[in-house]
Amino acid sequence: MSGNTFGKLFSITTCGESHGGAVGVIVDGCPPALELSEQDIQPDLDRRKPGQSSITTPRSEQDTIKILSGVFDGKTTGTPILLLAFNKDVKSEDYHHLKDVFRPSHADFTYRAKYGLRDWRGSGRASARETLARVAAGAIAKKLLREKHSVEILSFVEQVSNLRADVELSSLSLDAIESNIVRCPDHAMAPKMIKLIEEVRDEGDSVGGVICGLIRNVPAGLGEPVFDKISADLGKAMLSINAVKGFEIGSGFAGTLLKGSEHNDPFIPDGQRKIRTSSNRAGGVLGGITTGEDIVFRVAFKPVATIGKEQSTVSAEGTPVKLKASGRHDPCVLPRAVPIVDAMSALVVTDHLLRAAARDLPRGI
- What Rg, from alpha-carbon coordinates, does the chain have? 21
Positions 178 through 217 that interact with a second copy (CB under 8 A) = 200, 205-210
Distances in whole angstroms, Cα of residue 103 to Cα of each of 99, 173, 198, 289: 10, 39, 23, 41
328 binds a second copy (CB under 8 A): no
Residue 242: which of 296, 306, 183, 297 has the closest Cα?
306
Tell the smallest beta-carbon distance from residue 16 to a second copy (Å).
4
Contacts of 206 (CB under 8 A, 6+ apart): 200, 303, 304, 305, 306, 307, 329, 330, 331, 332
Positions 12 through 31 that interact with a second copy (CB under 8 A) = 13-17, 20-24, 26, 28-29, 31
Distances in whole angstroms, Cα of residue 29 to Cα of each of 127, 144, 234, 351, 358: 27, 12, 19, 9, 13
Number of residues binding to a second copy, judged by CB under 8 A: 162
90 binds a second copy (CB under 8 A): no
223 binds a second copy (CB under 8 A): yes
State phi, psi for 222 to the nearest 5 degrees: -90, 145
Positions 58 through 87 that interact with a second copy (CB under 8 A) = 66-73, 75, 77-82, 84
One character per residue 109-148, x = contact with a second copy (rule: CB under 8 A): xxx-xxxxxxx-x--xxx---x-------------x---x
- The Cα 334–Cα 187 span in angstroms is 17
In the list 52, 100, 224, 328, the residue contacting a second copy (rule: CB under 8 A) is: 224
- The Cα 94–Cα 84 span in angstroms is 24
Instruction: Compare residues 51 and 78 and give the one whose CB is closer to a second copy.
Output: 78
Tell the smallest beta-carbon distance from residue 187 to a second copy (Å).
22
In the list 265, 295, 337, 345, the residue contacting a second copy (rule: CB under 8 A) is: 265
Positions 154 through 183 that interact with a second copy (CB under 8 A) = 159, 161-162
8 binds a second copy (CB under 8 A): yes
